[in-house]
Amino acid sequence: MGTPLNHDELITAYGQMRTIRAFEESVNEEFLDGNIPGFVHLYAGQEAIAVGVCAHLSDEDKIGSTHRGHGHCIAKGCDVRAMMLEIFGKKDGLCGGKGGSMHIADLDRGMLGANAIVGGAPPLAIGAALAAKNLGTGGIGVAFIGDGASNQGTTFEALNMAVALKLPAIFVFENNGYGEGTGHDFAVGSGDIGALAGAFGMPVTCVDGTDFFAVCEAMADAVDRARSGDGPGAIEAKATRFYGHYVGDPERYRSSIEVSELREHHDCLKIFRSRVLESGLLTENELDDQDREAVAEVDAAVLAAKAASDPTSSDLITDVYAGY
Amino acid sequence: MTTVSMRDALNQAMREEMRRDERVVLIGEDVSGGLGGTGEDDAMGGVFGVSQGLVSEFGRERVIDTPITESAIMGMAAGAAMTGLRPIAELMFIDFMGVCFDQIFNQAAKFRYMFGGKAATPLVVRTTIGAGFRTAAQHSQSLYALFAHIPGLKVVIPSNPYDAKGLLIDAIRDDDPVIFCEHKVLYDTMGDVPEESYRIPMGEANIVRSGTDVTIVALARMVGFALEAAELLAAKGVESTIIDPRTISPLDMETIIESVEETGRLVVVDEGYPRCGLASDIAGEVAEHAFGVLKAPIKRVTPPHTPVPFSPTLEDAYIPDACRIVDAVQATLKQER
């Protein structure tokens, strides 16, 4: 198996995927125990997409995310502890407890925010691409777009604008099977998200989103193109989510065997492990170490979040304006 | 000081800011015009010609024509603002906010708060407001109150060339998203404007005229009608103060309340719709904070609660004018308690 990633990069990639999984499993537990307010949407099952895409990005590159954004944050380098504090609504969270799971952002890492409006991010991501182009930073703008958001007008408009202005933008369509409780097979009229993006006039690669190496390779091509001034590209990556739309979702819209099948046969972590072990790129010990470290980091983050202070009432009215 | 139109004053403001700061870019439909056509370059300069000539000085990298795609214009400008540019995005008519509002009020307006104060969004949305062009219900509205309702946005509504230039420069240099509303009937209004750059800070009302009998608050085109009304009233011995807030978020309530404390009477003239609008908001603030000094009920002068009609006869009846302002002032004088 050929891969452009070196040994350390492979370890990092697996570690990040494993951290996302551990993070989401903990958030699920803590939410069900009543320790997390609001809505949370979990990324488990899709880890190879976020990590395969962000493996090619630096802090100069910007990503626009979705309501299911924890995985994108971790893959883009956000601090896991500060993320957990934010999801718990704490003062020292990444956004001071004012954003929460659906608005988690870290501009220093180029993470322009989870976005609770379906289809909210694509126009913002092409804005980041425009800024990078005009300021000559060499950066690119990347939009993560669910299969649900693939039907939104904002997505179409951003695709067209990126082509018209030849922006260094990449559209990553994450087809996770469902928009809330409605299947992609029904909601995407043509059934073919990749063809839709292609119709706007950009190259599209469709990959198995549970295959880290396939995502990584597709992104490498799109990034080369965007960085060299050849304009936008798109990737459609298919990976069905393991959890419901939100934690607490009774998931009556899918059969009970679907998830057990997914976890058994389409788990990107298992697939990654077997691939790197078979090809001798990494050892079992190296992978097990990453598993342990990921769980330990997330467990520590949960303990820190539980012990952290809430914002105070004086925080309510700050941060609305730079000046007013 | 030279005498220029409001259109040229706005053009000067953009030109000077684009010279001063290369991060300032202009984005919108036909802000230069002519791309992909068989005719001239810079064929439009905006539908009202406000940005004419900017592309020849700053190039297409900074004067960015777009497809007709308002959500992508507003979202792209917001994303660019958050990542280092200082965009001026043109929403050709404020009525078109209906197809792009999410990118303004759920995205740009909320970044700073949602992200714990770590985001700055130096974005100016230039847009046109106002009836009087015979352009009917979808090109004539004065929807500024909808933006002022949203925390995180600032809203500017100039009434003359001098204010237009100084306020636009202030808006471009500001680190918050600003909705800059240009009344299309005022583009040819002439006024004295310094050739050099100057800022008029948002949040400071202008006292256009001073009088002791009544306070009239008016914005944009309504300021001219208020002045006409004040002359008619002066002939009858009634002296009016006219206050032009110039920005409605932030809104200089202090100046309005100080004036009402002197006059005891308030008339608010607003081209926006009457329900839940700016006139109601100002009336509510005064009723809450200066009820004791009021000598008569507050009067609001607004259009009726209808869409803007097309027929010139109907549109003229729709728009508040000097006569209606005079009537309102006289009513407050008669209703003295």
ipTM of the complex: 0.96
Residue A151's pLDDT is 97
A169 touches chain B (CB under 8 A): no
B167 pLDDT above the threshold of 70:
yes
Q: What is the pLDDT of residues B66-110, one digit of tens each?
A: 999 999 999 999 999 999 999 999 999 999 999 999 999 999 999
Tokens 């100057």 label which residue? B198
CB contact under 8 A, B176 and A128: no
Residue B42's pLDDT is 87
CA–CA–CA angle A101, A150, B65 (5° rounding) = 100
φ/ψ of B66, rounded to 5, equals -125, 165
Alpha-carbon distance A284 to A278, whole Å? 11
Task: Name the pTM for this structure.
Answer: 0.97
- Which 174-193 residues of chain B touch chain A by CB within 8 A? 174-176
Residue B335's pLDDT is 79
Give the C-alpha distances (Å, rounded to integers) separating A167 from A198, A225, B232, B318. 15, 11, 58, 45
Residue A161's pLDDT is 98
Residue A4's pLDDT is 78
In angstroms, how far is CA A103 from the centroid of its own chain?
Answer: 13
Residue A1's pLDDT is 55
CB A41 within 8 A of CB A17: no
CB contact under 8 A, B80 and A165: no
Chain B residues near residue A161 by CB distance under 8 angstroms: 66-67, 69, 72-73, 76
> Hey, what domains does chain A have and what are their CATH numbers?
7-306 (3.40.50.970)
Residue B41's pLDDT is 84
Alpha-carbon distance A143 to A161, whole Å? 13
CB B299 within 8 A of CB B328: yes
Average pLDDT score over residue span B278-292: 98
Q: Which of B56, B122, B114 shows the shortest CA–CA distance to B89?
A: B122
Q: Which amino acid does the sequence have at A227? A: R
B337 pLDDT above the threshold of 80:
no
Average pLDDT score over residue span B305-324: 98
What lies within 8 Å, CB to CB, of A6 at 6+ separation is none
- pLDDT values of chain A reduced to their tens digit, one per residue, 324 residues: 557 799 999 999 999 999 999 999 999 999 999 999 999 999 999 999 999 999 999 999 999 999 999 999 999 999 999 999 999 999 999 999 999 999 999 999 999 999 999 999 999 999 999 999 999 999 999 999 999 999 999 999 999 999 999 999 999 999 999 999 999 999 999 999 999 999 999 999 999 999 999 999 999 999 999 999 999 999 999 999 999 999 999 999 999 899 999 999 999 999 999 999 999 999 999 999 999 999 999 999 999 999 999 999 999 999 999 999
Residue B336's pLDDT is 66
Alpha-carbon distance A194 to A214, whole Å? 15
CB B183 within 8 A of CB B176: no
Q: Which of B40, B69, B66, B44 shows the shortest CA–CA distance to B54?
A: B44
Q: What is the pLDDT of residues B230-266, one digit of tens each?
A: 999 999 999 999 999 999 999 999 999 999 999 999 9
Chain B residues near residue A117 by CB distance under 8 angstroms: 102, 106-107
B36 touches chain A (CB under 8 A): no
Residue A2's pLDDT is 56
Alpha-carbon distance A79 to B181, whole Å? 41
Arithmetic mean of pLDDT over chain B: 97
Q: Which of A168, A218, A179 shows the shortest CA–CA distance to A49?
A: A218
CB A123 within 8 A of CB A154: yes
Residue B207's pLDDT is 98
B37 touches chain A (CB under 8 A): no
Alpha-carbon distance B170 to B168, whole Å? 5
B40 touches chain A (CB under 8 A): no
Q: Which of A23, A54, A56, A55 shows the shortest CA–CA distance to A40?
A: A23
